[in-house]
Amino acid sequence: MRFFRKLTRRAALAMAGVAALTLAHAGTALAGDAKEPIKIGSFLAVTGPASFLGDPELKTLQLYIGKINKEGGVLGRPLKLVHYDAQHLAKKAVTFTRRLIEQDKVDLIIGGSTTGTTMAVVKLVERAQIPFISLAGASVIIDPVKKWVFKTPHTDRLAVRKIFSDMKKRGLSKLGLLSGSGGFDKSCAGNARKLAKDYGITIVADETHGKGDTDMTPQLTRIKNTPGVQAFLYCGFGAPTSIVARNFKQLGMKIPHYQSHGSASMKFIKGAQGGAEGVRLPVAALLVAEQLPDDNPQKKVALAYKRAYESAYNDSVSTFGGHAYDALMIAVNAIRRAGTTDKAKVRDAIEQTKNYIGADGIYNMSPTDHLGLDEKSFVMVEVRNGTWKLLK
């Protein structure tokens, strides 16, 4: 019986605790007045294998939300970032998105560093009718168009277009293609096959490598020995990009070498150990901000972002942070134009984004285009002396 008495005493204590919590909760609800913050929800891959995406993205959001609040906020209200680390995991993304929508009651969501985490929550945000700006790459996010889903990063399709126009300009028409097995690789290679005809290009060799391969010499040898091959394109992401460039050099291949914006990081150049010299790729203007001509409207924006980020974090800027910068600015501008945080009106305002000059390009969204970038938003660079050189 003593146990029971103890139990009742504990139960009474627990009840008192719950009551206190409820009261505290009611208190905060009452305290809310006109200065209630605008809540921006976000779930990013800050840790785990995709942290190279999520880390600069989160830092950018924190930096600029702080800046905006110092300047008086939006519509006279401060911004509040509610962030959860979903890693690259779809399951976590779904749970955190529910949490953002139903518990934190955010006004808008920026997030999804990867295509998988983004696609996992599409159904959820569509049902909850909340504006959602993704920071992931693949074109499937906005094609077909989904009412509440937008994104800021360039698609692989734009990259392929940019590369093919450059090839056409140089009079190259016979392409050797190599791609990996990842989602990005497949999508990029698929677009290359589809778009080749439009640019008068024929793919004379089409090779693939497996996940985690550390040597691409056999595939490159086959491409090298393909008669008539005039140029080489590698569709891939992360570590394999360096390996391909290294092997390419080891085989003494001399044909023009293209890679996608998946290689647009200093890690690619360093990892290639000299093999990256002469490789051409399309990148966001942000990466070569200093080299842009002064009349380029993007120069000012890109430079300002680059300097702010680098002085705040003492870390070199990456294009991924740029995606987050653009997403936040597009959202903030839309809320300002809508004059409210009403979700439907903010969504409409995002869709009406016109001539927004961002780190990634100049955005012109429409009901049929929830990205709003065209291939002009890319600039072509060549690796020279271990760094990016803007091509005119």
User: Is there a contact between 275 and 351 (Cβ–Cβ < 8 Å)?
Assistant: no
Among residues 106 and 379, whose Cβ is nearest to other proteins?
106
Count of beta carbons in the 10 Å neighbourhood of residue 21: 10
Taking the least distance from each CB to other proteins, the nearer of 115 and 155 is: 115
Nearest residue (CB) to other proteins, 37 versus 116: 116
First to last CA, the chain: 87
Residues that bind other proteins (CB under 8 A): 3, 47, 83-85, 88-91, 94-96, 98-99, 101-103, 114-116, 119-121, 123-124, 138, 181-183, 186, 210-211
Distance between CA atoms of 89 and 64, rounded to whole angstroms?
26
| Complex with other proteins: residue 144 or 171, whichever CB lies closer | 144
Residues 6+ away with beta carbon under 8 Å from 305? 286, 317, 321, 322, 325, 359
Residue 361 to residues 19, 29, 301, 315, 364, Cα–Cα distance (Å): 53, 41, 10, 22, 10
**How does strand 149-151 pair with strand 174-179?**
unpaired
In angstroms, give the least distance from the CB of 116 to other proteins: 5
CB of 102 vs other proteins, minimal distance in Å: 4
* Residue number with CB closer to other proteins (7 or 391): 7
Q: Are 382 and 322 in contact, with CB atoms under 8 Å apart?
A: no
Whether the ω angle into residue 49 lies within 30 degrees of 0, i.e. cis, is no
Looking at the Cβ atoms of 47 and 366, the one nearer to other proteins is: 47
Q: Which is nearer to other proteins, 118 or 298 (CB)?
A: 118
Least distance between other proteins and beta carbon 392 (Å):
36
* Residue with Cβ nearer other proteins (47 or 225): 47
Residue 254 Cβ, how far from other proteins at the closest point, in Å? 33
Backbone angles phi, psi at 264, to 5 degrees: -75, 60
Q: Which residue has the tokens 């962030």?
A: 83
Least Å from the CB of residue 190 to other proteins: 10
Nearer to other proteins, 101 or 205 (CB): 101
C-alpha 73, offset from chain centre: 25
**Ordered strands of the 202-208 beta sheet:** 202-208, 174-179, 231-235, 257-259, 280-284, 378-384, 387-390
Determine the Cα–Cα distance for residues 74 and 311; give it in Å rounded to an integer.
24
95 vs 39: CA distance, rounded Å: 18
Shortest distance, CB of residue 133 to other proteins, whole angstroms? 19
CB of 61 to other proteins, least distance (A): 13
- What is the closest distance, in whole angstroms, from the C-beta atom of residue 22 to other proteins in the complex? 11
Q: Kindly state the smallest distance separating residue 98's Cβ from other proteins, in Å.
A: 5
Q: Are β-strands 108-111 and 132-134 bridged in parallel, bridged antiparallel, or unpaired?
A: parallel
